[in-house]
Every structure is written in structure tokens, then in C-alpha cells.
Amino acid sequence: MDHWSRSAVIYQVYPRSYKATSGSVGDLPGITAKLDYIAQLGVDALWLSPFYRSPQKDAGYDVADFRDVDPLFGTLEDMDALIARADKLGLKVIIDIVPNHTSDQHVWFQEALNSEPGSRARERYWFRDGRGDGGELPPTDWESVFGGPAWTRVPDGQWYLHLFDASQPDLNWENPEVREEFESILRFWLDRGVSGFRVDVAHGLMKDPDLPDWHHKSWMVSGQDETEAPPAPMWDLDTVHDIYRDWRKVLDEYDAMMCAEAWVMDDERRSLYVRADEFDQCFNFSFLSSPWTASDMQATIRSSYEANARVSATTSWVLSNHDVVRLPSRMGLAKTGKGPNGIYAHDPQPDHDLGLRRSRAAHLLMLALPGSAYLYNGEELGLPEHTTLPDKARQDPTFYRTKGGEGGRDGCRIPLPWVSDKPYAGFSPDGSWLPQPDGWADFAVDRQENDPNSYLNFTRTALAYRAKYDLGRQEIRDESGDGVLDYRVGPLRMIVSFDEETVVPEGWRVLLASSPVDDVIGTDTTVWLTAEPQA
């Protein structure tokens, strides 16, 4: 039997925004209280974004202690309780590991700041002398992904590298001590019962040790956007794979899995991460970034399967996460695809109805594709982006570091609505760390549970059929014609119409449709068809 992760549906929980038992930030006991809800969705596992001790300069992706829970979220005992309850419900727990950088409050970085240039403590990071007569210029011209320079100067004149915020110094993975420390961190959590890791910025750990100049923009999370730019000295270096071969050996002792967050847009390069002795999964960000057209989607699906087949891996489909504009909003923009980094109130606003219709169609497409799939919390509710957040409420460092040039990711991180007539839509009795937009309660879980046509019930039904027909493990055959996608997935047939209508083919019956269908499948609609007679 293949490893469970090859066909799993994994639900991403963003702890800050999931459910708060008190205060304005979500917490681990809140998540534990909602595990029954997660199990009822029909997913196999949950992935928790960081809950580690952290000053929260990048919403927890700035980790000060990888072996402890931030008091904001609870305690280690709360985490143990979460894992135990998940286990009872048959849910696996995957956690985020952030190996590219630490927080500037991590003991290692504090020690480095208090140590001499060239000291062992500084060798755990990338400290360098500056250029120019007095060393007043940064060692390279690299830009931070979050905007602004990727180097910050310390009082004794040296500079340290941070590909993200200045509070997130990059670790030096040439250093064996760093490697040992992370293997020990993996074991710490595996011993506590987690089933695997989502590896943050997996393609960024190794840097060209010569530190050559490279003056190109690495956009937030999309890695290198300019296809004509020379290979980046910090992204997707061949040497990065050795790290994961070592990790694989540790994980195998526990039968655990790992998934790479590697914003590598070339399918061949990305497939290298899922070779047999490395990752089990790598997010398919080509799929997430693909414009919503028949030809783009078809080409992405085909080339993803082809590239991964060469290394005998499946594909991990993903449409949303905590870094991109929420799907129904992205799908309602004039230009579909990965979308901008946030939407401002003064930007052209998404077409809500069109976006929702396409988003349902895209979900039904994704959930029939063999391989594994990810759902970001709130995706099952059809939550839109908050597109009118006041600037004073924004927290994402990308907003501040780009001086407002990019709105940032707060709009996809709004605390979830659970109960329509409770304060903060049932997220917390006390508050919400980001303001919820008007109408948020209309999306609340309690409302959707009672509506047979709701996004929630649609997602549950899709997941139930996916399980019944074992779609994650079937063979797929592409029989698409022009403008319409047509796939056989095991016993089922899936048709996705984009800007053209098409008729339901003879001999087939609609099992599930993303929008109402009679004999005609309307535009922006996906249907799952069966040849079985009606029971």
C-alpha cells in the first residue's frame, strides 16, 4: 500500500485565525474544540501553521524557540491534547517547520549579536563585512522578498542576511551545527506524535557561498518572477537537496512525511524535491498560479503529472493558503492566476458572484485529480478576501517594507466565522486580531450547515465522493476537446467548462456539479459524471 500522504486531503489550519477560546488571537484549545468539525469535513490530516514561541513579527514565521508553544496559543500540553484528540478522530497532524531563518529573538541570534565577527555564534548565520570604504554598503545588492534590502547592519559594522524581514535572520546551512539542530527539532516533534512537516521556504536554505550580486526582485512567495533573470544565488540551489536526503532518513524511522513549500515554477525543477529519497509532497504552485482558462489548466495539469511521473511521485494540488488572495476573490478579478499581494479598497474589486462560481468549479476540478490536495481553512466556506481593510489594521511586514506598495496578506487571514449571531461571528468572545468585514457572519458555519446548497455542504459532498471512488489513487485519462476539459478518473468522468457551454454526454449522469446543471453544463462549471444507473 502506498503511503497515505500520496492521496491525502490535508486541511491547513492557521492558528491565529481559527478559533479563540479567549482574547483576539486563535489558540490551540480552540483548534482542539473544532477537530470534530475538521474530521466531519472528510479530510485525512491537518497542517498547523506555526504556533512556536515567537515575537510574531511575521505571524509566527519568525521562530524564537522551535521546541515551545507561544503563550499566545497555549502550552506544550495543549499541543499534546490536540494531537491526542486528532488521533482519536483518525486525523493526522502535520506541523510547519521554518528552517530558513530564526527570529532575531532566538538565543542563537542574540548570542551572535553579542559575539565577535568570525565567531562560532556568527557562523550560524550569514554575517559579512560591508562594501565601500567604511563597509557602509551591504555585502550584496540582494533585495528582501518582503521589500527593501536583504541585509541589516549591526552596531559593530557587520551586516547579516535576511531574505525576509529584518527580524528573520537567515541561518547558514553550510554549518553542520545548524543541520544537527534541525534534525533534533524534527525528532522532538516526531516523538510528541506529529505525522510530518510542511517545510517553509524549502528551496531557499542554501545560498551561493560566493554571494554574487543578483539585482532582481523575488516577489513575495512566488520566488523568481522574471523568467529572463539569471539563476538566483539564493533559490533552488542543487545543494539544497542534500539536506532533505538527511531529513528523509530521520522521518523514515517514524514513517512520517514532509511537504515542500518551494516556489519553483518550473515543473521539472520542482519535481526534484519529490524524488524517492526526499519529500513526499511539494505544493503544486503552478496549479495555484494558473490562469482560469481551459488551455492553461490543461497544460499545467499535464506537465505536472509528466514531470512527477519521471520521479514516480504524485502531485499535491493546492489553490489557496495564507500567502495568497482567497480563491473566490482571485477568480473574480479581470486577470486570474496567482493574483496580486493583497487587494486595496481603491483597487478594482473582484466580481463576487463570478469568483464564487469559478472557485466552486476549480475546487471540484482539484478534488478529482489523482494525488494529494490541500484546503486552506475557510476555503470550505467560500470565504472571500477582505479587500477593504483599513491600513491601520494591517500587520503583514510586506505592507510596511514595501511602504504600502503591496497591500500584503492580511486579507486572506481574517478570523473565521463560526456562529452568525455571536460577537466576532463566533471566532472569540473577546475580539479579532484583524477586523472581520461586513457580511462575514453570512458565511458562518452554522448558517452553511443548514443550507444544502452551501459551499460547506458542497465541499463535504465532494470529499465524500472522492473517498467513495478513491479518486486520489485512480488513473487519469485526458480526453479534452477545444475549450472544455474532459477527464476520465477511474470510473468517473469530469467535465470542466470555462467560457463555453457544453451538453451532458449521453450515457452519463451528473453525480455532482459545482453550479446547477440540467442537460447543459454552463460556463465556469465542473461536473462529475457517472455511468452507473440512478440507485
Interaction site with ligand GLC (CB under 6 A): 58, 61, 98, 164, 200-201, 221, 261, 322-323
Determine the Cα–Cα distance for residues 377 and 375; give it in Å rounded to an integer: 6
Residue 168 and residue 126 in contact, taking contact as beta carbons nearer than 8 Å: no
Q: Which residues contact 415 (CB under 8 A, 6 or more apart)?
A: 16, 17, 18, 20, 26, 424, 425, 427, 428, 432, 433, 434, 436
Please name the amino acid found at residue 485: L
Shortest separation between residue 245's beta carbon and ligand GLC, angstroms: 22
Pairing of strands 159-161, 484-489: unpaired
Determine the Cα–Cα distance for residues 471 and 372; give it in Å rounded to an integer: 10
Nearer to ligand GLC, 222 or 515 (CB): 222
Nearer to ligand GLC, 237 or 492 (CB): 237
Determine the Cα–Cα distance for residues 162 and 179; give it in Å rounded to an integer: 19
Nearer to ligand GLC, 338 or 493 (CB): 338
Q: Which grid coordinates belong to 86?
A: 486528532
Nearer to ligand GLC, 221 or 318 (CB): 221
Residue among 475, 478, 485, 493 nearest 532 (CA): 493
Pairing of strands 316-317, 372-376: parallel
B/e letters for 417-441, b = 16+ CB within 10 Å, e = fewer, are bbebeeebbbbbeeebbbbbbeebb
Shortest separation between residue 48's beta carbon and ligand GLC, angstroms: 13
Let me know if 41 is exposed, middle or buried by CB neighbors in 10 A (0-12, 13-18, 19+): middle
Shortest separation between residue 446's beta carbon and ligand GLC, angstroms: 30
Nearer to ligand GLC, 203 or 360 (CB): 203
Single out the catalytic residue among 62, 200, 323, 486: 200
Determine the Cα–Cα distance for residues 436 and 178; give it in Å rounded to an integer: 40
Shortest separation between residue 93's beta carbon and ligand GLC, angstroms: 18
Determine the Cα–Cα distance for residues 371 and 171; give it in Å rounded to an integer: 33
Annotation marks residue 200 as catalytic? yes
Annotation marks residue 385 as catalytic? no
Determine the Cα–Cα distance for residues 356 and 370; give it in Å rounded to an integer: 24
Shortest separation between residue 240's beta carbon and ligand GLC, angstroms: 15
Residue 441: φ, ψ to 5°: -65, -25
Taking residue 230's Cβ as centre, other Cβ atoms within 10 Å add up to 10
Single out the catalytic residue among 136, 180, 253, 532: 253
Shortest separation between residue 101's beta carbon and ligand GLC, angstroms: 7
Nearer to ligand GLC, 221 or 333 (CB): 221
Shortest separation between residue 522's beta carbon and ligand GLC, angstroms: 35
Residue nearest to ligand GLC (CB): 61
Residue 76: φ, ψ to 5°: -60, -35
Nearer to ligand GLC, 130 or 404 (CB): 404
Q: Which residues are catalytic?
A: 200, 253
